[in-house]
């Protein structure tokens, strides 16, 4: 028996007011559909994932790549029509779980529990439902003698049916053969002129197959994201759940309502996160680190006992016992060694530093390899770009770079060298060398008479 999952991601999502397909819109810097795919894999109960794409399908494919297979719905004719596009791929006996691609809060636990219920009940069709205080916009669950009879979309519902609080989440688990034989029988005779997937309930019920609902008690998990307000609500819920998990595992958060942590982030115990901090992507924060306030870290690794404040760190690594900030910027694969001091208004891009490197203020390091015990003075930079190409700077161990020095790459500064302040270098510096590249000072005495620089205006 093979278990399939079908994710519906072909819609435009016009209410999002975005050029992106709705399911590609980011939630905590990760596309909504990525949550669904990851949680299906985490559930470990699915053999094959199929994503139905349509509008701007390449955007979805660029997000998911080869993690799923694809079916194409070139013309959006409803959810039933979308599932029909998978008919040639769902070929083996078993069952399929069908999920909307805009429900990022559906986690692996919900998926597991729904499937366990479906198997234990020996159902042919299970509809995942939930109760909402305000069911507006959702299809209503119609029951008779507590047995599922049908699902009525709100636009087709009577006033009496609209009073029902139990709603369809859009998640179904259904026998593979029965799914497509039922879809062959549905029509588009409704207010939307679409082929509703919900119509398979009546068809399967009529043929006396076993169907029932699995009631999702935590209704917020079934929240569909149709506009930017709903997105903000989902972000608030997800942020709260993630922060709660970390705080209970030994992470201190100061004013957690202002802190955003992505769901793929790993944070070890005894870490302190201060207000207005964002940690997203596949970031890792090692124990005893202090992050924030007002810091953003994305796809980066922060080592033990590191302090980062008022800074941006993207796709980079900071090793143990280093300090970053305030107002530093690490990006594009920067690797900061142990016991470094990266100070205020220092930018490091696509470079590596050894241990005990110091750039305390107002410096730029780009496309460089730097050894141990190196000091960068205030205003010093690696001149890595000539307007067309980027070039590399190599600096050895025990090098002192004075203030306002320009190192024009490609250039090699060997061990135990000193670069005099104000120098602009375009030649390699040998080991044990003092390099000076600046013009001599000239003093012209009595240049301004009577001690006045400017004559008095009359």
Using the predicted structure, report yes or no on whether residue 191 has a pLDDT greater than 90: no
For 214, the 3-state DSSP assignment is: strand
Q: What is the pLDDT of residues 330-389, one digit of tens each?
A: 999 999 999 999 999 999 999 999 999 999 999 999 999 999 999 999 999 999 999 999
What's the pTM?
Answer: 0.86
Q: How far is CA 375 from CA 27, 162, 259, 389, 429, in A?
A: 41, 71, 34, 26, 16
Task: Transcribe 49-113 into DSSP letters.
Answer: EEEEE-TTHHHHHHHHGGGSEEEE-SS---HHHHHHTTTTT--SSEEEEEEETT-TT--HHHHHH
The first and second tokens of residue 326, run together, are 């305030």
Instruction: List active site positions.
Output: 361
Note the pLDDT tens digit of each residue in 77-126.
889 999 999 999 999 999 999 999 999 999 999 999 999 999 999 999 99
pLDDT at position 450 is 66
Average pLDDT on 43-52 reads: 93
Question: How many helices (H) and strands (E) are present in the chain, helices listed first?
Answer: 7, 38
Please give the DSSP secondary-structure letter assigned to residue 390: B
Strand partners, 130: 167
The pLDDT, as a whole number, for residue 453 is 60
Q: What percent of the chain has pLDDT over 90?
A: 79
pLDDT above 60 for 37: yes
pLDDT in tens, 401-457: 999 999 999 999 999 999 999 999 999 999 999 999 998 888 888 887 666 665 555
User: Which domains are present in the chain?
Assistant: 2-222 (3.90.550.10), 229-435 (2.160.10.10)
Question: What six digits make up the tokens of 334?
Answer: 């920067």
Mean pLDDT of the 47-68 span: 93
Q: Are 75 and 96 in contact (CB under 8 A)?
A: no
Radius of gyration in angstroms for the set of CA atoms belonging to the chain, rounded to a whole number: 31
Band (pLDDT 50/70/90 cuts) for residue 458 is: very low
């Amino acid at each position: 028996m093979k278990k399939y999952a079908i994710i519906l991601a072909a819609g435009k999502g016009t209410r999002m007011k975005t050029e992106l397909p709705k399911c590609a819109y980011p939630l905590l810097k990760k596309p909504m559909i990525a949550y669904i795919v990851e949680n299906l894999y985490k559930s470990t109960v699915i053999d094959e994932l199929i994503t139905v794409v349509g509008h701007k399908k390449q955007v979805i494919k660029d997000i998911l790549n080869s993690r799923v297979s694809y079916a194409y719905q070139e013309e959006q004719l409803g959810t039933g029509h979308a599932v029909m596009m998978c008919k040639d791929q769902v070929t083996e006996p078993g069952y399929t779980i069908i999920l909307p691609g805009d429900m990022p809060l559906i986690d692996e636990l919900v998926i597991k529990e729904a499937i366990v219920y479906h198997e234990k009940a020996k159902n042919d069709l299970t509809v995942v439902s939930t109760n909402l205080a305000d069911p507006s916009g959702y299809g209503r669950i119609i029951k008779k003698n507590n047995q599922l009879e049908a699902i009525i979309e709100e636009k087709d519902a009577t006033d009496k049916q609209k009073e029902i609080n139990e709603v369809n989440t859009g998640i179904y688990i259904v026998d593979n053969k029965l799914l497509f034989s039922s879809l062959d029988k549905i029509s588009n005779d409704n207010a939307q002129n679409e082929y509703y997937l919900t119509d398979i309930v009546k068809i399967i019920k009529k043929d006396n197959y076993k169907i029932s609902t699995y009631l999702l008690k935590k209704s917020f998990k079934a929240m569909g994201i149709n506009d930017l307000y709903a997105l903000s609500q989902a972000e608030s819920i997800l942020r709260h759940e993630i922060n709660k998990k970390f705080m209970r595992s030994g992470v201190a958060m100061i004013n957690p309502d202002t802190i955003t942590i992505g769901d793929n982030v790993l944070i070890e115990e005894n870490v302190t996160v201060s207000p207005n901090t964002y940690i997203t992507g596949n970031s890792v924060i090692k124990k005893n680190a202090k992050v924030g306030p007002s810091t953003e870290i994305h796809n980066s690794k922060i080592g033990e006992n590191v302090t980062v404040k008022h800074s941006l760190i993207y796709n980079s690594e900071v090793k143990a016992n280093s300090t970053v900030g305030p107002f530093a910027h690490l990006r594009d694969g920067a690797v900061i060694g142990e016991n470094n001091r990266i100070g205020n208004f220092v930018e490091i891009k696509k470079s590596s530093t050894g241990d005990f490197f110091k750039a305390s203020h107002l410096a730029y390091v780009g496309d460089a390899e730097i050894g141990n015990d190196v000091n960068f003075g205030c205003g010093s930079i690696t001149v890595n770009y000539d307007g067309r190409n980027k070039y590399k700077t190599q600096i050895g161990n025990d090098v002192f770079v004075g203030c306002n020095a320009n190192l024009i790459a490609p250039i090699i500064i060997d061990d135990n060298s000193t670069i005099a302040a104000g120098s602009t270098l375009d030649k390699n510096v040998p080991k044990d060398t003092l390099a000076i590249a600046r013009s001599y000072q000239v003093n012209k005495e009595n240049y301004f008479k009577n001690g006045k620089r400017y004559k008095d205006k009359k």
